[in-house]
A and B are shown apart, each in its own frame.
Chain A
Amino acid sequence: MLSRTANSLFWLFRYTERADFIARILDATVRLAALPTSYGERNEWESALEAAGSAEIFRQHYGAVTEDTVRDFLAFSPHNPSSIRNCLERARTNARAVRTALTLEMWETINGAWLELKRHRNAADMSREDFARFLEWVKSVSLDFDGSAYRTMLRNDAYYFTRLGVSIERADNTARILDVKYHVLLPPTERVGGSLDYFQWTTILREVQAHTAYHWVYRESVKPWLVADLLILNKQMPRSLACCYESLVRHLDLMSDLYGRRGPAQRHASDCAARLSSMRIEEVFGRGLHEWVTEFIIDNNKLGSAIAEQYLT
């Protein structure tokens, strides 16, 4: 297939995945911000900005960090390259450029979303209820889109590139959430936090739709190191870094089978996957969660560059 097509498919899926992620962060933040202030002084909206990785751009365009400004910035701002609006618009631009590589269902979903998005200009005239509905809608767009890809696409190289886009973006997003909350994810020898911490951990799980999964896997109350274990090392958890890398390795292998050639991208992904599967969570904490996650994000970006160099240009 054309390198340009592969590139657009890859980014199309990164952007829809990212839109979903931002919607989940906003959703969780609304929930946390609704806790009574007796649970401690805090600004959840600040941490939402950091989780989204866009605090710096925010400061260039907005003043105070409030519910209104962050909502507007993360959901609608044209200045924020990762705002939900920008993600869906770029997804649609990429989709339109590779219309032929998509099934009709996929195109209808993303084009329909783009048309619907035009009705939502900014957050200012939205009630909390409207905004909650809007976030639900964004999540449903990503679900519909990914679901229609899963159900209708040929399992060929085009499909493999969509999986690479989803997995690499998802790994990045999961790592970012962990990094923002690393101060509450303490190792087992440390003092277990107060009730505010408990809510924050629970919220992390909720953000990534892993609350129930946690209880199924660990059958105990929410412990920070187990949250990290679930999101980093547990291969059964679709958001975990280990699971994302399993998928990256699988689809890169399928690609090399198809093309009859392995390259730096395959080597890079399998190295990283091997590290994740032989590692124990204690080692992560031994290294320092923040340090470990920072390195992971850099390494994940390197895989992105390797894929781009090998296939997308």
Chain B
Amino acid sequence: MAAFDEMHGGQGPDACRAAYGKLKRWLDTTPRDVFDARRSQAELFFRRIGITFAVYGDAETTERLIPFDIIPRVITKPEWEKVETGLKQRVKALNLFLADLYGPQTALKAGIVPPELILKNEHYRLEMQGIAVPHGIYCHIAGIDLVRVDEDTFYVLEDNARTPSGVSYMLENREVMMRLFPELFAQHRVAPVENYPDALLATLRSVAPNSGKKDPTVALLTPGQFNSAYYEHSFLADQLGVELVEASDLFVREDRVYMRTTEGPKRLDVLYRRIDDDFLDPLAFRPDSVLGVPGLFSAYQAGNITLANAVGTGIADDKAVYTYMPEIIRFFLDEEPILKNVPTWRCREEEALRYVLDHLHELVVKEVNGSGGYGMLVGPHATKDQIETFRRKLKHDPAGFIAQPTLALSTCPTFVASGVAPRHVDLRPFVLSGADEIRVVPGGLTRVALKDGSLVVNSSQGGGTKDTWVLDG
């Protein structure tokens, strides 16, 4: 199964798709030591600004850099426009679905999604049932993971509807590329991504509770500096010009949320929280949470604060619910999905399970609740033992798994030890849903599997990132 190469187009190493024309000439004519030098400059830049992440369970280094590849990935404007329309459609449906789920549940009653799949799901929040969230929007910030398989097709791999991360890499990657390769930017008309923070702030302000307040106060809630994504939290707060708060900076009085400031308490209207539901409020959820703010959920129920994303969006990025997204889009929008799902076998269905068990060696099997590339079987690369272990897991708890064909993720030219070589990539665009409109900045975060042949792009497992260029005209 040959992967689609975004530069060569699968026509052999000398062929070149039009979008990559100038880039290929640059790759062909630039001496290798220039790449080496630029790569160390990029690394130095990232290290100096402190763009690091922590790998849990890695005692050696508490702060690590995500490898950055200096060769950009190129997407043409027409390609992007189709993706963008598809993303907006999908996220719109996702929000309607969530509002329905925590409201009248018409989709469950119509049998679009099996009720037991939702109501017994650990991500379904009974506490949210019947609560009207401000402006009816649940998933304000979504990261939709896409993979490309050929000239025309992007599949949705998964929807990240809770607290998707990675957008700071999208922004910093562009920043470092512009510093290192001004010449390339002069030759290509690359659509800017720098307006993401503005779009995010506009989105957050648009969803403030309807209190008639003209200038709502927004803050970003972080678990603190030992969280793996702390850099991103601080970076975004800075770019947004809002306070980066920890739980200890907040308190709730009479169902209103305040920050402790040098000028006394300051009322808060919108909280962009980067803490999971479970930890938000020890009074409402996990009582042992020290990251949370006592009384926050009660203030939320009273409609005095907007949480972005809303509590309970996890149900929408559940991998089992994912498989119903095409039906959800048709049901709520009466439209055909523009972006397709990866063909998926729901192991909860008997026939699908039988097929999956017979084809384990060629399928990717995922835990419904897994994330970050953990708890996953990649059939073609697995040992016999690993396959047998998964076979037992599957028989034991079929509903806990889905299976997908091993996708030929597209490849892009990447600078590795052996020189410039194709490596598999995916794409995570960020979709912002406000009360006024849905915003998407062109491109997103391209993640690349740096190991030859590897399909795992997660940064926790050796993946890197690239700048993503949407060519404007």
- A residues lining the B interface (CB < 8 Å): 1-6, 93, 96-100, 104, 107-108, 111-112, 115, 157, 161, 259, 311-312
Shortest CB–CB separation between residue B179 and chain A, in angstroms? 12
Judge whether A99 and B234 touch: CB under 8 Å: yes
Shortest CB–CB separation between residue B60 and chain A, in angstroms? 14
Judge whether B262 and A311 touch: CB under 8 Å: yes
Chain A residues positioned under 8 Å from B248 (CB to CB): 4
By beta carbon, the residue of chain B nearest A157 is: B262
Decide yes or no whether B259 CB sits under 8 A from chain A.
yes
Give the complex CA separation of A104 and B235 in angstroms: 10
Shortest CB–CB separation between residue B465 and chain A, in angstroms? 20
Give the complex CA separation of A100 and B260 in angstroms: 17
Judge whether A1 and B49 touch: CB under 8 Å: no
Judge whether B260 and A96 touch: CB under 8 Å: no
Give the complex CA separation of A74 and B323 in angstroms: 62
Give the complex CA separation of A6 and B238 in angstroms: 15
Decide yes or no whether B237 CB sits under 8 A from chain A.
yes
Judge whether B262 and A100 touch: CB under 8 Å: no
Judge whether A1 and B262 touch: CB under 8 Å: yes
Shortest CB–CB separation between residue A72 and chain B, in angstroms? 25
Decide yes or no whether B327 CB sits under 8 A from chain A.
no
Judge whether A1 and B261 touch: CB under 8 Å: yes
Judge whether B261 and A99 touch: CB under 8 Å: no
Give the complex CA separation of A93 and B62 in angstroms: 13
Give the complex CA separation of A1 and B262 in angstroms: 6
Shortest CB–CB separation between residue A139 and chain B, in angstroms? 20
Q: Which of B49, B234, B237, B260 contacts A3 (CB 8 A)?
A: B260
Decide yes or no whether B47 CB sits under 8 A from chain A.
yes
Interface positions of B from 3 to 54, Cβ below 8 Å from A: 47-50
Chain A residues positioned under 8 Å from B246 (CB to CB): 4
Decide yes or no whether B249 CB sits under 8 A from chain A.
yes
Decide yes or no whether B362 CB sits under 8 A from chain A.
no
Given A157-B262, A259-B262, also A2-B225 (CB < 8 A) = no
By beta carbon, the residue of chain B nearest A114 is: B50
Given A1-B261, A3-B261, also A100-B238 (CB < 8 A) = yes
Judge whether A2 and B50 touch: CB under 8 Å: no
Shortest CB–CB separation between residue B249 and chain A, in angstroms? 5
Shortest CB–CB separation between residue A12 and chain B, in angstroms? 14
Give the complex CA separation of A93 and B248 in angstroms: 17
Judge whether B262 and A6 touch: CB under 8 Å: yes
Give the complex CA separation of A307 and B231 in angstroms: 29
Chain A residues positioned under 8 Å from B262 (CB to CB): 1-3, 6, 157, 161, 259, 311-312
Shortest CB–CB separation between residue B215 and chain A, in angstroms? 17
- B residues lining the A interface (CB < 8 Å): 47-50, 225, 230-231, 234-235, 237-238, 243-246, 248-249, 259-263
By beta carbon, the residue of chain B nearest A102 is: B238
Q: At the interface, is chain A mostly helix, strand, loop or mixed?
A: helix
Give the complex CA separation of A151 and B141 in angstroms: 36
Chain B residues positioned under 8 Å from A2 (CB to CB): 243, 245, 249, 259-262
Give the complex CA separation of A99 and B243 in angstroms: 11
Shortest CB–CB separation between residue A7 and chain B, in angstroms? 9
Give the complex CA separation of A205 and B248 in angstroms: 45
Judge whether B48 and A111 touch: CB under 8 Å: yes
By beta carbon, the residue of chain B nearest A112 is: B48
By beta carbon, the residue of chain A nearest B219 is: A2
Chain B residues positioned under 8 Å from A6 (CB to CB): 262
Give the complex CA separation of A100 and B238 in angstroms: 5
By beta carbon, the residue of chain A nearest B235 is: A99
Chain A residues positioned under 8 Å from B263 (CB to CB): 259
A-B contact pairs, 9 of them (CB 8 A): A2-B260, A3-B262, A4-B248, A4-B249, A96-B234, A100-B237, A107-B49, A111-B50, A161-B262
Chain B residues positioned under 8 Å from A312 (CB to CB): 262
Chain B residues positioned under 8 Å from A97 (CB to CB): 225
Chain B residues positioned under 8 Å from A161 (CB to CB): 262
Chain B residues positioned under 8 Å from A111 (CB to CB): 48-50
Shortest CB–CB separation between residue B47 and chain A, in angstroms? 6
Give the complex CA separation of A311 and B264 in angstroms: 9
Give the complex CA separation of A99 and B240 in angstroms: 13
Give the complex CA separation of A111 and B235 in angstroms: 15
By beta carbon, the residue of chain A nearest B234 is: A99
Give the complex CA separation of A287 and B238 in angstroms: 51
Give the complex CA separation of A157 and B262 in angstroms: 9
Give the complex CA separation of A1 and B50 in angstroms: 23
Chain A residues positioned under 8 Å from B249 (CB to CB): 2-4
Shortest CB–CB separation between residue A142 and chain B, in angstroms? 18
Chain B residues positioned under 8 Å from A104 (CB to CB): 49
Judge whether B260 and A99 touch: CB under 8 Å: no
Judge whether B243 and A107 touch: CB under 8 Å: no
Chain B residues positioned under 8 Å from A115 (CB to CB): 47-48
Give the complex CA separation of A5 and B237 in angstroms: 13
Chain B residues positioned under 8 Å from A107 (CB to CB): 49-50
Shortest CB–CB separation between residue B65 and chain A, in angstroms? 11
- Which of B225, B234, B259 lies at the interface centre, i.e. has the most chain A CB atoms within 10 A of its CB? B234
Shortest CB–CB separation between residue B428 and chain A, in angstroms? 23
Give the complex CA separation of A112 and B263 in angstroms: 33
Chain A residues positioned under 8 Å from B259 (CB to CB): 2
Judge whether A99 and B48 touch: CB under 8 Å: no
- Which of A4, A97, A112, A259 lies at the interface centre, i.e. has the most chain B CB atoms within 10 A of its CB? A4
Chain A residues positioned under 8 Å from B244 (CB to CB): 98-100
Chain A residues positioned under 8 Å from B260 (CB to CB): 2-4
Give the complex CA separation of A126 and B89 in angstroms: 64
Instruction: A2-B243, A104-B49 given; name 16 further pairs at CB < 8 Å.
Output: A1-B243, A2-B249, A3-B249, A4-B249, A4-B260, A5-B243, A6-B262, A96-B230, A97-B225, A100-B244, A107-B50, A115-B47, A115-B48, A259-B262, A259-B263, A311-B262
Chain B residues positioned under 8 Å from A99 (CB to CB): 50, 231, 234-235, 238, 244
Chain A residues positioned under 8 Å from B230 (CB to CB): 96
Shortest CB–CB separation between residue B251 and chain A, in angstroms? 12
Q: Which of A93, A96, A100, A108 contacts B48 (CB 8 A)?
A: A108
Judge whether B225 and A108 touch: CB under 8 Å: no
Give the complex CA separation of A99 and B246 in angstroms: 13
Give the complex CA separation of A157 and B263 in angstroms: 10
Give the complex CA separation of A6 and B243 in angstroms: 12
By beta carbon, the residue of chain A nearest B266 is: A2
